């Protein structure tokens, strides 16, 4: 079992943060997606960007291709960080992972709340799991997989057009797609934490109806916010998105304890 700290890129701007925001990247993505967020959020918010195996600092490790395994390992790695309230934000595949980790932590709660789940779960660019159409891009030829991903949009540039980067990134992308495309929960649980869903208004992979279905998976309240853009709206709209998140985090009582 790897040490907990390897799982997170930690951004702490104060020795006494009020809460921790745990951010889960998309398929093929990395913690780098969130590198600009800490400067845009209040200083009392500590950001933990999840570092999946198989990329960047964990390049030598095999990717995890099972949702259950990934969720179990992240849930365990979060143990030392549960001394403060947790808030989750996940994008695309990361939204499904964030939801499942939240469900795992809630199921493990004890009376003394020493293992409390997140107080808020924010899910971006992902249909609710019980309303997600089945796909099998992970089984397709390289060109088909890359083309399918490219249709969603871009974070800038085309790394798959560079042979050296393509060779490095494609196995990670395929592994992540295998994980998310084989994830079909038969009876998704209802979280106790409130849920906020985000989407780009031109994200062809997410219909408003299927994103709204996240409200069926919480008993704690639901909100939907749409931004202009495609699947990767959160890059060009980073300032607006983080401002919205900061406003929601400000509503979490500073005296909350777990």
Active site residues: 92
Beta carbons within 8 Å of 29's beta carbon, 6+ residues apart: 91, 92, 93, 94
Beta carbons within 8 Å of 3's beta carbon, 6+ residues apart: none
Bridge partners of 22, per DSSP, are 48, 88
User: Distance between terminal CA atoms of the chain?
Assistant: 26
Phi, psi of 44 (to 5 degrees): -90, 10
Bridge partners of 19, per DSSP, are 45
What's the chain's length in residues?
Answer: 258
How far apart CA 181 and CA 165 sit, in angstroms, is 23
Burial 65-93 (b: 16+ CB within 10 A, else e): bebeebbebbbebbeebbeebbbbbbbbb
């Amino acid at each position: 079992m790897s040490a907990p700290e390897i799982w997170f890129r930690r951004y702490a701007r104060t020795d006494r943060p009020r809460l921790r925001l745990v951010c889960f990247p998309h398929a093929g993505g990395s913690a780098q997606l969130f590198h600009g967020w800490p400067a845009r959020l209040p200083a009392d918010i500590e950001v933990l960007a999840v570092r999946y195996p198989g990329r960047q600092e964990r390049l030598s490790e095999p990717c995890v291709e099972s949702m259950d395994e990934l969720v179990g390992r992240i849930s365990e790695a979060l143990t030392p960080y549960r001394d403060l309230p947790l808030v989750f934000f996940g994008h695309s595949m990361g939204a499904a992972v964030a939801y499942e980790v939240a469900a795992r932590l809630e199921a493990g709660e004890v009376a003394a709340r020493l293992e409390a789940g997140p107080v808020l779960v924010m899910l971006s660019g992902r249909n609710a799991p019980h309303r997600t159409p089945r796909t099998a891009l992970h089984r397709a030829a390289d060109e088909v997989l890359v083309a399918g991903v490219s249709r969603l949009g871009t974070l800038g540039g085309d790394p798959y057009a560079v042979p050296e980067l393509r060779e490095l990134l494609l196995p990670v992308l395929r592994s992540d797609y295998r994980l998310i495309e084989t994830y079909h929960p038969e009876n998704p649980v209802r979280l106790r934490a409130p849920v906020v869903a985000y989407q780009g208004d031109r994200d062809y992979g997410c219909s408003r109806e299927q994103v709204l279905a996240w409200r069926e998976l919480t008993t704690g309240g639901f909100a939907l916010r749409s931004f202009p853009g495609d699947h990767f709206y959160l890059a060009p709209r980073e300032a607006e998105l983080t401002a919205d998140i900061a406003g929601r985090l400000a509503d979490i009582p500073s005296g909350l304890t777990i």
